[in-house]
Chain A
């Protein structure tokens, strides 16, 4: 900035378009209301009374993928669910981000078997991995804040 010092307080803030857009995007992410397994219960706890995710501008869970920016893959993804999940991801409008919540979504977790996709990054690109089985709400909040940090440094060109 620096203009204020030279011209006095004119009530104007100057910044780059990229920073302004990213600031808006990162603080009003609408996650998709989409739970799969155990982690979904912890995701509900994160939304609910004690942890209250709305403090971070993420309270508006949308049931429709058309209205959401963030997919939190909360739980294990089975082979039967994988095409559905990919379909939901494709239905989300750009810009969009994915958090792999928990060990199962990140790498298959304790279920290294025929039924479970070994990490949701096999079917959708993941931005943040949150460890834990299931992760505590604090861990998920930390993951979300990491994502906000990531969005703040994204080039505007990425989503053209």
Chain B
């Protein structure tokens, strides 16, 4: 850590040299006018800017709201304030080096992103993953889902006005981050799942750490439910707010708890089982009304289902390797390098050039905490991908915001944003 002295002269920054008149926009006033109602032009309704620096937009989402009194006439989301160019950056990196970038898209569920990307690479190259690695992936995926839901519940409740839930959720989240740290060495950006398996086997105290989560969580979930489920204030703010019908939810491409809150039974874990999800018994919680409360109920039920899956996976966790023995994609163990020339060559090739993937295009999706997180991977025979596209669930779940917030009150927009559970790193990438 360094302390800067003297302060840098901001006037010299290259960004300050850009003049506003240099920026050319291909948008006409007529096109812009259509975004708001004609009443906005006469001053009958009020235009209000919300964000990008607003504590309730869950990041740097900007909304342009047209208000008639306190009622929302139109809501125009403006995204891109966190555009990071991850997809473009990925094109210049070897297949292995893209993994740390995937952590940073949906940073509340890094392991899900890792798995979606690694699953796509495995599909493209044709790698078999050992069964132990698949089970461990399932355990970590479910912990990740709980991690993502805990941040959702904490911030959502905080936005609506329940401060204590946030502190409880963050307390429980630390238990999951401890597991992350034990397996990967990092609290958040794990990069633990690799093409062909896992970076390394879990440490010996992993079962105890998971057991602690399994023991503590049911009681804590009860605590949250006590605070919120039948709370009249909570119900007043959530029941009947931000309704979306099943047809609309499908048409807008919503997935995850947002779609299931409207009563559509679609879960990637059931529809296209990956990583041995078909070995476990669990149910998919469904809502019916498609409002903020139902989406909340769905996610709360998913906590219980996640715990159920983890319990089964821990009981059945088989021994064995956690990485494929295909030396073309998996680095050889360090002790082998000492006596095997072939291993040394593999090691050298892998870390200088990387492995090559055949030409082709694959799509692989996982059910992350927010919905269907898919990766479209296009290979061109070289060690670097031609194109990596992330089908980010938050991006699709955000799209109907303008529609579902029409006619709602200004205070409700905060509840609606919380309930669709967006993370802007995922929206903008």
Q: How far apart sit A33 and B314, CA to CA, in the bound complex (Å)?
A: 40
**A40 CB within 8 Å of chain B:** yes
Partner of B107, one of A41, A88, A128: A41
Q: How far apart sit A41 and B108, CA to CA, in the bound complex (Å)?
A: 8
**Minimal Cβ-Cβ distance residue in B for A139:** B1
**A84 CB within 8 Å of chain B:** yes
- Residues 88-101 of chain A, each 1 if its beta carbon lies under 8 Å from chain B, else 0: 10000000000000
Which B residues are in CB contact (< 8 Å) with A117?
Answer: 15
Whether A122 contacts B174 in the complex (CB less than 8 A), given A38-B425, A111-B89, A129-B2, comes out as no
Partner of A76, one of B8, B84, B168: B84
Q: How far is the CB of A23 from chain B (nearest CB, A)?
A: 19
Q: How far is the CB of A89 from chain B (nearest CB, A)?
A: 9
Q: Which of B402-429 contact A (CB under 8 A)?
A: 424-425, 428
Q: How far is the CB of B178 from chain A (nearest CB, A)?
A: 10
Q: How far apart sit A41 and B173, CA to CA, in the bound complex (Å)?
A: 11
Q: How far apart sit A127 and B6, CA to CA, in the bound complex (Å)?
A: 9
Q: Which of A84-119 contact B (CB under 8 A)?
A: 84, 86, 88, 110-111, 113-117
**B88 CB within 8 Å of chain A:** yes
Whether A78 contacts B15 in the complex (CB less than 8 A), given A38-B104, A38-B188, A48-B166, comes out as no
Do B188 and A125 touch across chains, with their CB atoms under 8 A apart?
Answer: no
Which B residues are in CB contact (< 8 Å) with A86?
Answer: 10
Do A88 and B166 touch across chains, with their CB atoms under 8 A apart?
Answer: no
**A28 CB within 8 Å of chain B:** no
Do A110 and B100 touch across chains, with their CB atoms under 8 A apart?
Answer: yes
Which A residues are in CB contact (< 8 Å) with B203?
Answer: none
Do A81 and B88 touch across chains, with their CB atoms under 8 A apart?
Answer: no
Which A residues are in CB contact (< 8 Å) with B8?
Answer: 121, 125-126
Which B residues are in CB contact (< 8 Å) with A110?
Answer: 100-101, 104
Q: Number of contact residues on B: which range applies? A: 35 or more
Partner of B82, one of A37, A48, A121, A146: A37
Which A residues are in CB contact (< 8 Å) with B167?
Answer: 48-49
Whether A115 contacts B83 in the complex (CB less than 8 A), given A36-B60, A50-B174, comes out as yes
Whether A125 contacts B151 in the complex (CB less than 8 A), given A38-B425, A131-B1, comes out as no
Do A143 and B53 touch across chains, with their CB atoms under 8 A apart?
Answer: no
**A133 CB within 8 Å of chain B:** yes
Whether A129 contacts B4 in the complex (CB less than 8 A), given A41-B151, A49-B171, comes out as yes
Q: How far apart sit A139 and B188, CA to CA, in the bound complex (Å)?
A: 14
Partner of B80, one of A45, A63, A78, A133: A78
Q: How far apart sit A134 and B52, CA to CA, in the bound complex (Å)?
A: 21
Do A50 and B188 touch across chains, with their CB atoms under 8 A apart?
Answer: no
Do A63 and B55 touch across chains, with their CB atoms under 8 A apart?
Answer: yes
**Could you list 7 A-B pairs, sorted by A, with CB under 8 Å?**
A36-B82, A37-B104, A115-B84, A125-B10, A127-B4, A129-B3, A134-B189
7 closest A-B pairs by beta carbon, nearest first, are A48-B170, A125-B7, A115-B85, A38-B107, A49-B171, A113-B85, A122-B13
User: Measuring CB to CB, which residues of chain A are less than 8 angstroms from any residue of chain B?
Assistant: 33-38, 40-42, 44-45, 48-50, 63, 65, 75-76, 78-82, 84, 86, 88, 110-111, 113-117, 121-131, 133-134, 136, 139, 142-143, 146, 150
